């Protein structure tokens, strides 16, 4: 285990925990199986299905971030990370296996068990059921005609013949 890289993840995240260890090991798996390194732009894309602690390790180790558009949140709540390499077309979904007995461990013991386990013990490796998303795009900013705040055009709605942001938009639904 790269202790220096682990410490870098801990510093970024703020503390050690089992969740950070899961993300750390998921990145270790992606590096091992896809040969990825640090993404300076959008060479690597990670789709995370959880917004938990492990995502911080993904940011530190792979360079995938929301701001660059190569870290995408897909809220299934699963401990699953899908990595895409734009250059090679390779892709891999890394899914945490069900917990087998570690619930009886303390947080610190669970974290150590995760960090000491092989990636094959921890994860299932799958072909993702979704494709690589297009590169991040730039959008024009439109001004909401209700609150006066700017938002990208693809996030605006029409309501009462006015361009409004998502916050000001009043959705209409009759139950289905």
Ranges of each domain in the chain: 3-126, 138-176
Q: Residue 176: pLDDT band by 50, 70, 90 thresholds?
A: low
Same CATH topology for 3-126 and 138-176: the answer is: no
The architecture in CATH of the region 138-176 reads 2-Layer Sandwich (3.30)
User: In whole angstroms, what is the distance from residue 58 CA to residue 71 CA?
Assistant: 9
Q: Do the Cβ atoms of 64 and 27 come closer than 8 Å?
A: no
Q: Is the pLDDT of residue 45 over 90?
A: yes
Model pLDDT, residue 71: 96
How far from chain centre, in Å, is Cα 4?
Answer: 22
| Least confident residue range of 73-87, 95-109, 111-125, 142-156 | 95-109
As a CATH number, domain 3-126 is 3.30.1330.130
Q: What is the rounded average pLDDT of the residues 91-107? A: 85
Q: Do the Cβ atoms of 50 and 87 come closer than 8 Å?
A: no
SS3 69: coil
Q: Is the pLDDT of residue 42 over 80?
A: yes
| Least confident residue range of 40-49, 62-71, 79-88, 99-108 | 99-108
Q: Do the Cβ atoms of 159 and 169 come closer than 8 Å?
A: yes
């Amino acid at each position: 285990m790269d202790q220096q890289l682990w410490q870098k993840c801990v510093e970024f995240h703020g503390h050690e925990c089992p969740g950070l260890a899961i993300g750390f090991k998921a990145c270790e798996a992606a590096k091992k199986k896809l040969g990825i390194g640090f993404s300076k732009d959008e060479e690597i894309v990670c789709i995370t299905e959880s917004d938990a602690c492990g995502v911080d390790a993904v940011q530190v180790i792979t360079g995938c971030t929301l701001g660059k558009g190569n870290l995408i949140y897909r809220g299934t709540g699963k401990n699953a990370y899908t990595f895409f390499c734009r250059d090679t077309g390779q892709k891999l979904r890394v899914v945490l296996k069900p917990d087998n007995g570690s619930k009886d461990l303390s947080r610190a013991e669970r974290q150590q068990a995760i960090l000491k386990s092989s990636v094959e013990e921890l994860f299932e490796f799958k072909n993702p059921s979704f494709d690589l998303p297009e590169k991040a795009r730039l959008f024009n900013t439109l001004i909401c005609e209700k609150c006066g705040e700017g938002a990208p055009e693809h996030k605006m709605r029409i309501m009462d013949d006015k361009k409004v942001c998502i916050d000001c938009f009043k959705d209409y639904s009759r139950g289905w």
